Chains A and B, each alone.
Chain A
């Protein structure tokens, strides 16, 4: 290995051109098996030439061993023995494929009702979600549930793939009706961008190649849309958040006083010369240097992993957060959040847990569980007493130390947390601070529930 780990980037023009063409899109799929999700995923992988000969051969051979005449493409994605034996998908799997324009990381999540937690997991890192519906059935409860999860997790882009168009004679009116109903619903939940595409995953219409059966459709195929959708927020819109992960102190003869704060910028931009405040201590200093993995820069932004050098020698350690002095967040020990419970052991009021927020883990107690949400119709159930696996609900927490938590609506990174069982370390619950959905839906849901908005910020 050479010692040139200085992050200089591409060196010669040819390599630069070859590497420059790709960005990375993380997306998630949602839809039950019956909607053709496996077929869609198989079609995307297969038609983008991401399934290689030996993988196909393995699938063909395994299908033959089971007495099936045709290769079962679900075997491509069902990786575990239990899944193959039972013919079901039991967990999130990650798939990788690429086109010359972009690399894709697909969180392939099972669509069954009981696996809400898996869609939540997949959607947590996704910039786009593909929601499948069967054109014959239109928008059903399951569709609304998927739209609600995408909205709850603040996935910036949602694609509605209206599948099985071949079974409704490629009828434009069928598509238009479903697209309109879904768009109205998802927009009311606050989904910022919705793109509806009529497809047949089985035949291959509008997945990778444009359909010859739907002249009336002038939009992109699913893959074209995935390749061109804008990736990443503009970090200059967001206040900077820098959770300190690790303090780098070489303590060597050449650098006796070096003290660098290493971490990944969670949101916004950091600049040399910027006045910053360290939370929770509240002490301030100025950014003296910024280092992006070996390269000194004047400005760095989310989600770059960087090292920050400050002008003053403050006492800063892992778990602290460096923020601009003019855009601080008030640390608090009281936290209200929407959560998805993940673990088979229910979450109950009074439970003592650990809470991991950015790089800080503190003790916390569940003070109240004011409500549980039914995703199908967004109805709320007051005082459910507990949350079981796959439940989504409101939780009020008290932490042992003040935490600088943003609203999840403002920052997916600094507004999210997980609860951990202190006894065995299990991940119990995923949490999103602040209001669950956009304001529009709060009013709609509250009006439908026939009551005035509360004062204390319930927002289902």
Chain B
């Protein structure tokens, strides 16, 4: 039985794979390589759409056996409650193990300090690296995609991090064919990006095809938001709205889901997956450009954070 979907031009090659089948096959291959070569891998899982797709690929890669990895979530303390609820439900449903590294605990212990702008996204790096060190994780799966940001366009699928978790773009290993090199010294670890070659649209089309459930905030809904630096932010204890900021009720959805302090909503009527796909296909803004404040801090914001150990 042939399951491949082909274009008109390729009717003469019944074995050509659709782009989603090709990306899925590649992603599964990456998961199995890590399972075969590493001792203590972990999947970064936030309840965001990329990590949800990542987990879905891992479930497929090892079925009918369980996923042979634990999950790790770095919780800034400012996450959306419905996303945390989703996270815990999925973990229970698949019998997975979840580590949670809390930014709040580091702040309480005085190991991290709140930033003047209130955003906690950059503060995730320290708890992440601490969790990697404590648990001796040697491979850390991230949902990062090279289409997200120009520094990420340079990222390898298997990306070596030094003992400080740092990324040095000039000392990356060339990656040829599908021969991934996971060698690392004790103390070093490898970040692995199985969705490297996916775009935002691929992720959504795959979610539609596989009928994957997402947290409801990805679909348009009435929500209280206020405007700051051109973005619709959700009010909360994290530090908004300010005195001169006014909360209003708008129909919005989220294109990315990170921390409430840095993730903006977009005005939208897309309340179904078909409408979301149509909206993204027509959008003139990138996902991060539309909704992420942390990337706007400087021209090389992402590169700088990655150098320090961010994912």
Could you list which residues of chain A lie within 8 angstroms of chain B, going by C-beta atoms? 1-5, 7, 9-11, 14-16, 18-24, 52-55, 58, 62, 76-82, 84, 90-96, 98, 101-103, 105, 117-118, 120-121, 124-125, 228, 230-232, 234-236, 245-246, 248-252, 255, 258, 262-264, 269, 292-295, 297-299, 301, 303-305, 318, 342, 354, 356, 359, 412-413, 416-418, 420, 424-427, 430
Contacts and interface: CB of A to CB of B under 8 A. Distances in A.
Contact of B18 (A19, A95, A124): A19
Contacts of B18: 19-20, 22-24
A94 B274 contact: no
Given A228-B9, A301-B15, A412 B177 contact: yes
Contacts of A230: 9-10, 12-13
Contacts of B3: 9, 292, 295, 297
B77 interface: no
A contact face: mostly helix, strand, loop, or mixed: mixed
Nearest to A25: B19
Nearest to A422: B183
Contacts of B284: 52-53
B277 A356 contact: no
Interface string B172-210: 111111110101110000000000110101100100111
Interface stretch (B28-36, B102-110, B241-249): B28-36
B174 A342 contact: yes
A62 to B, nearest CB: 6
A249 B63 CA distance: 9
B183 A420 contact: yes
B209 A232 contact: no
Interface in B1-53: 1-3, 5-7, 9-10, 12-13, 15-26, 28-29, 32-33, 35-36, 52
A53 B285 contact: yes
Contacts, number: 255
B290 interface: yes
A134 B2 CA distance: 45
B57 to A, nearest CB: 9
B60 A98 contact: no
Given A90-B170, A245-B29, A427-B181, A231 B36 contact: no
A426 B174 CA distance: 9
B16 A23 contact: yes
B32 A262 contact: yes
A165 to B, nearest CB: 27
A263 B32 CA distance: 7
B181 A418 contact: yes
A96 B147 contact: yes
A292 B303 CA distance: 37
Contacts of B275: none
B19 A103 contact: yes
A54 B36 contact: no
A425 B38 CA distance: 14
B28 A305 contact: yes
A40 B211 CA distance: 38
